[in-house]
Amino acid sequence: MSFISNSLIIEKYLRKDMLPTIFCTGCGIGSVMNFTLRAIHDLNIDINKTVFVSGIGCSSRIPGYIYSDGLHSLHGRAIAYATGVKLANPELKVVVFTGDGDCGAIGGNHFLHAIRRNIDLTVISINNFIYGMTGGQVAPTTPLKSKTTTTPYGNIEYPIDLSMMAKVIGAPYVARWTTAHPIQCISSIKKALQKKGFSFVEILSPCPTSYGRLNKMGTTLDMTKHFKESTINIKLYEKMLAEGKTTDKMVIGEFVDIEKEDFNTKYKKFYSDLK
């Protein structure tokens, strides 16, 4: 992996007139943007043939800063828009940035059915465990007992696990990392970009302003340290399971990496068979 300077990334990929970003100081969304652009740079992907699609939320602001075509769509509908883009012009590479609320709550059904169809998209979900933009309401991914502005005494609803959902429905590439794992994030995004079919990368990201403040987790630094401590790699986890031990830590790593025919290829075949 080539270690390049930020100046190159800023020069080549960012809209300089839009900077600085609206993200709060220390927000992990900037890191995710950085990782994605580095992955794109490493793979030499033509940015003019790439479309970035997003819904609404802090995380969905990313396409606005990238110097390429982008769609900042409706809340929860990013994957629906992206499906349209991919079907209309299969030549394009379509990358979706979506928040946890965007992807798992209001956009949940689009998420499920895009995986079912296996459309060739790269979906990067930035999971900050909360609705960041609207002031910190409970999200479907908010862990039990966590405080949000709508659950001031702690959350009593069980959270959903987006990566496991993607795995169960049959996405050909699923991985989860945190912003404290930059190298792993970049290599997973690279694999996801190269995969033909629905690839899903979930990145746990600190939101110091809403989630961090309400749960007294301190600064971004404290939150990233917490991510490192409260997660466990899938390889270690499987070893532990084999030994009969369990843990309540969040499992991270690469969950699925298989080959599966995507919708566009299937459609092309189907169409030529008809003739």
Partner 1 sequence: MCVEYCPKKVYVKSEKLSKKGVFPPEVKFPENCIKCHLCELMCPDFAIIVEDKNDK
Ligand X SMILES: Cc1ncc(C[n+]2csc(CCOP(=O)(O)OP(=O)(O)O)c2C)c(N)n1
Q: Residue 209's binding partner, choosing from ligand X, partner 1, ligand SF4, none, with beta-carbon cut-off 5 to 8 A by kind?
A: ligand SF4
- Kindly identify the residues of this chain, within the stretch 51-80, that bind ligand SF4 according to CB under 6 A: 58
Q: How far is the CB of 164 from partner 1 (least distance, A)?
A: 27
In the set 98, 187, 209, 215, which binds ligand SF4 (CB under 6 A)?
209
Q: How far is the CB of 59 from ligand X (least distance, A)?
A: 4
Q: How far is the CB of 205 from ligand X (least distance, A)?
A: 8
According to the 3-state scheme, what is the secondary structure of the chain?
A: CCCCCHHHHHHHHECHHHCCCCCCCCCCHHHHHHHHHHHHHHHCCCHHHEEEEECCCCHHHHHHHECCEEEECCCCCHHHHHHHHHHHCCCCEEEEEEEHHHHHHHCHHHHHHHHHHCCCCEEEEEECCEECCCCCEECCCCCCCCCECCECCCCCCCCCCHHHHHHHHCCCEEEEEECCCHHHHHHHHHHHHHCCCCEEEEEECCCHHHHHHHCCCCCHHHHHHHHHHHEEEHHHHHHHHHCCCCCCCEEEEEEEECCCCCHHHHHHHHHHHHC
Q: Residue 102's binding partner, choosing from partner 1, ligand X, ligand SF4, none, with beta-carbon cut-off 5 to 8 A by kind?
A: ligand X
The answer to the question of residue 68 lying near partner 1 (CB under 8 A) is no
Report the C-alpha gap between 99 and 211 in whole angstroms.
Answer: 14
- Kindly identify the residues of this chain, within the stretch 14-33, that bind ligand SF4 according to CB under 6 A: 23-24, 27, 29
Number of residues that bind ligand SF4 (CB under 6 A): 12
CB atoms closer than 10 angstroms to residue 241: 11
Q: Residue 35's binding partner, choosing from partner 1, ligand SF4, ligand X, none, with beta-carbon cut-off 5 to 8 A by kind?
A: partner 1
Residues paired with 53 in a beta bridge: 71, 96
The answer to the question of residue 22 lying near partner 1 (CB under 8 A) is no
Q: How far is the CB of 135 from ligand SF4 (least distance, A)?
A: 8
- Kindly identify the residues of this chain, within the stretch 125-164, that bind ligand SF4 according to CB under 6 A: 128, 132-133
Q: Residue 122's binding partner, choosing from ligand X, partner 1, ligand SF4, none, with beta-carbon cut-off 5 to 8 A by kind?
A: none
Q: How far is the CB of 209 from ligand SF4 (least distance, A)?
A: 4
Binding site for partner 1 (CB under 8 A): 3-7, 9-10, 14, 19-21, 23, 25-31, 34-35, 38, 179, 182-183, 220-221, 224
- What is the contact surface with ligand SF4 in residues (CB under 6 A)? 23-24, 27, 29, 58, 128, 132-133, 207-210
| Chain contacts with ligand X (rule: CB under 6 A) | 56-59, 75, 99-102, 126, 128, 130-134, 139
